[in-house]
A and B are shown apart, each in its own frame.
Chain A
Amino acid sequence: RKEVEQDPGPFNVPEGATVAFNCTYSNSASQSFFWYRQDCRKEPKLLMSVYSSGNEDGRFTAQLNRASQYISLLIRDSKLSDSATYLCVVNKNNDMRFGAGTRLTVKP
């Protein structure tokens, strides 16, 4: 089993749609969690950290479920500029592991 697993997609959604991504992790001792965004042929950029209490940044909401070992990212009111690959990251003792990413395309 992979340490961090994501549905590769692609997710093709119209502008204004709400879309959700999930990510599961195998190590129950994992300590911190993040979502990154990667545009084609560019480096990943930190989107947001993920907390058990849930956290929101504008149209983006992230959630952690430690009992079920998954994290989620919800994007509301999708924009064309949200088109990218979304990567989840799991950290245990400075060992930062990435999921393979979920490709999102937002269409007009």
Chain B
Amino acid sequence: SQTIHQWPATLVQPVGSPLSLECTVEGTSNPNLYWYRQAAGRGLQLLFYSVGIGQISSEVPQNLSASRPQDRQFILSSKKLLLSDSGFYLCAWKIGGGGGGLHFGNGTRLTVT
């Protein structure tokens, strides 16, 4: 069966510090991979998605970037965090080319101080 791992679960970082969040999927090949952010009390904002190695579609930001160095690995990064980057970051996967839904990791709760 497929599993998705996302870490760390919580993170407190000062403004201006770098960020690296990692997500890996097991048990499937060539998945579509996604990064979402959810601010407190708000909906999920799509940040990036990838349909293959090295293919990244960016929806939003600003000071965040994503990379997919391997088929089942998706990394979210920032060189300098802003206060507004605080939130719940969620990685998800779906079957590549399929019509199925997303399956989420447990999320990373980031607080920028």
Main SS of chain B's interface residues? strand
B99's partner among A32, A36, A101 (CB-CB below 8 A) is A32
Contacts of B46 in A (CB 8 A): 95-98
What 0/1 readout, one digit per residue, does chain A (41-83) give for beta carbons within 8 Å of chain B?
1111110010000000000000000000000000000000000
Q: Report if A34 contacts B (CB, 8 A).
A: yes
Does A31 count as interface, using CB distance less than 8 angstroms?
A: yes
**A34–B99 Cα gap in the complex (Å)?**
10
Within the complex, what minimum Cβ distance (angstroms) separates A91 from chain B?
8
Would A43 and B105 count as touching, CB distance under 8 A? Answer: yes
Total A-B Cβ pairs within 8 A: 53
Contact assessment for B43 and A96 in the assembled complex, using a CB-CB cutoff below 8 Å: no
User: Distance (Å) between the CB of B16 and the closest chain A CB?
Assistant: 27
Task: Assess whether A13 is interfacial by the CB under 8 Å rule.
Answer: no
CB neighbours (8 Å) of B36 from chain A are 98
Interface magnitude class on chain B: 20 to 34
- The secondary structure that dominates the A interface is strand
Query: Per a CB cutoff under 8 Å, which of A41, A89, A99, A101 touches B102?
Result: A89
Q: Let me know if B107 and A43 touch, CB within 8 A.
A: yes
Contacts of B44 in A (CB 8 A): 44, 87, 98
- Are the CB atoms of B101 and A46 closer together than 8 Å? yes
A43 touching B104 in the complex, CB below 8 Å, given contacts A96-B34, A98-B43: yes
The count of chain A contact residues (Cβ–Cβ below 8 Å) is 22
**Given A49-B101, A94-B49: A43 and B90 interface contact (C-beta under 8 Å):** yes
CA of A44 to CA of B36, assembled, Å:
11
Please give, as numbers and ranges, the residues of chain A lying within 8 Å of B107 by CB-CB distance: 42-43
Chain A residues near B (Cβ < 8 Å): 31-32, 34, 36, 41-46, 49, 87, 89, 91, 94-101
Query: What are 14 of the A-B contact pairs (CB < 8 Å)?
Result: A41-B109, A43-B106, A44-B90, A46-B102, A46-B103, A49-B99, A87-B44, A94-B51, A95-B46, A96-B34, A96-B46, A96-B94, A97-B46, A101-B43
